[in-house]
Structure 1
Amino acid sequence: MKKLIFLIFLGSLFSCGDEVQPKPNAYLSLDYPDAEYSTYLDENCPYSFEKNSIATVAPSRAGNECWVNIEYRDLKGTIFITYQPVRNNLDSLLTDAQKLPLQHTIKADAIEGSVYTNDFHNTYGMFYQVEGNAASQAQFYLTDSTRHFLTGSVYFEVQPNFDSILPAAAYLKEDIKHLMETVEWKDGMQD
C-alpha cells in the first residue's frame, strides 16, 4: 500500500510538466462603426445638424415640437436635444445651461468645459465633458446670442459606471462635437 501511494505521488509530480502561469488581463473589445453623418432637418424647427447614421431621431416625450432624442439603441444611450427661442431671456437660458453640468459634481470626478465658437455658422457655446460615475457624460449648449438656444446632454440607460460606459461615452462625445460643428440656424424662423 505504501508503494502505491508513493507511485501516485511520484506520478503526480512528473505528470504536470507545464508550470502554472497567470492568465493575462482580458480587455473588453467594443468595436463601433466609423461614423457616417447625414443632415437632420425638421421643417418646423429653426435648426439643422448632422447625426450619425447608427442613431435614430425621435420626438421628445416632453411634447415640445423642436425637442428631439437622438437614440443609439446598440449603445443604450441617448442625446437629448432641447430648443428654446431667445426672447430677452438669454441670461436666464445661459444660467440654466451652465448649472446643469454642476448638478453632476457629487458623482463626477471632473467636469471640463470647453468654449465653442463657430463664426461661419453663427454658433457659440460650451461643451462639458463629465468624468466619473455621473448620470450624464457630456453636455453642451449653443446659441446665436439673439434668437436661438439649443442644449444637449447624453444619458445612458444603465446605472452609471464610468469604466463600463467609457467606450460608448467617448463615441457619443465625438458625435456631440460633430453635431455642434454642423448646427445651422434657419434664417427668418423662430420657434
Structure 2
Amino acid sequence: MLNVSLFKNKKNHYFCGMLKNIFFACLFLILASCGKKPLPKPSGELRLEYPAPKYQNFTSDCPFTFDYSNFSEIQDGKKKCWYYINYPKMKAKIFITYFPIQNDFNAHTKEAEKLVYEHTIKASSIDTQSFSYPAKKVYGNFYQLQGETASNIQFYVTDSTKHFVTANLYFNTRPKPDSLAPAVDYIKKDMLHIIDTFKWKQ
C-alpha cells in the first residue's frame, strides 16, 4: 500500500528547496543591482601645447614698427595701416588699427575705452595696466578681460601728439574661458612683446 504521508513529505521538501533557490537567486539580483550605477566619464578639455615663440620685426610704410611671433602671420586689414595678426591654429586674430591724431586725442582715447567697457555685461572683471616708455614716446593702456567676453585682451599705444594705435584680440569660436585660457595666455605674452618692441618711425 502506498505511503501517502511519505509522498507528501518528499513533495513538500522538493517544493521548499525550489523556494530556497528562487529566494537566493532574487536576493543575489537585488544585491547586485544595489551597486553604484556606472557614470559616464566627463569630457575634459584638451590642454594644447604651443611652441616657444621666436620674434621677427614687422615694418611697412606705416609710421610704426614692432616685433611679432613667427607662430602668427600678418595680413592687410580693411584700411591703410590696419592689420590682422592671424593665429590660424588657435582660430584667433589680433586686430591692429591706426589713426593719425588731428586735435582729437581725447576722442581716440574715449573710443578705445568704449571698446573695452562695452564688454562689461559678459566680463567678470577688467584688469587695466598703464605703460609708459618716455624714451620712445610710447604710452598707453593694456586691458585684460575675464569671463565669457568676445575680446579677451585689448590695448592702445600712442605718442599723445601724432599717432594712435589699438589692438584687440578675438577668437573665431564661442567664448569658453577654461578651454581658451592656454591660448589667451600664449597670445597675451605676444601682445606684451609687441608693446615692449613698439617704436615710432622718425
Q: TM-score, normalised by structure 2?
A: 0.79
In structure 2, what is the equivalent of residue 139 of structure 1?
A: 154
| 1:40 is the counterpart of 2:58 | yes
**Which whole-Å CA distance do the structure 2 matches of 1:48 and 1:163 have between them?**
33
Tell me the secondary structure at the aligned position of residue 158 of structure 1. coil
Q: Following TM superposition, by how much is the alpha carbon of 1:101 offset from its aligned partner in structure 2, in angstroms? A: 0.4
**Equivalents in 2 of 1:75, 1:4: separation in Å?**
62
**CA–CA distance in structure 2, aligned partners of residues 25 and 74 of structure 1:** 22
What percentage of aligned pairs have identical amino acids? 38
Q: Is the 8 A contact 2:155 2:166 kept in 1?
A: yes
* Change over 3 Å in CA distance of 1:27–1:67 after alignment to 2: closer
Match of 2:70 in 1: 53
Residue 125 of structure 1 aligns to a residue in which SS? Answer: strand
| Structure 1 pair 29–161 and aligned structure 2 pair: CA distance change class (3 A) | closer
Looking at structure 2, the residues matched to 160 and 27 of structure 1 have their Cα atoms a distance apart, in angstroms, of 14
CA offset at residue 4 of structure 1? 10
Q: Which runs of 5+ in 2 are unaligned?
A: 1-17, 32-37
* Residues 130 and 56 of structure 1, relative CA distance in 2, 3 Å threshold: same
Q: After TM superposition, give the deviation of residue 5 of structure 1 in Å.
A: 9.6
TM-score in terms of structure 1 length: 0.83
Cα distance in structure 2, aligned partners of 1:180 and 1:97: 16
Query: Rg bigger for which structure?
Result: 2
Unaligned stretches of 5+ in structure 1?
A: 14-19
25-34 or 96-105: which moved more?
25-34
CA RMSD of aligned residues (A): 2.6
How much has 1:24 moved relative to structure 2?
Answer: 10
- Mark the CA change 1:157 to 1:6 in structure 2 (over 3 Å): closer, same or farther: same
Q: What secondary structure does 1:151 align onto?
A: strand
Q: Could you tell me which residue of structure 1 aligns to residue 34 of structure 2? A: none
Once the two structures are TM-superposed, the CA of residue 167 in structure 1 deviates from its matched residue by 1.1
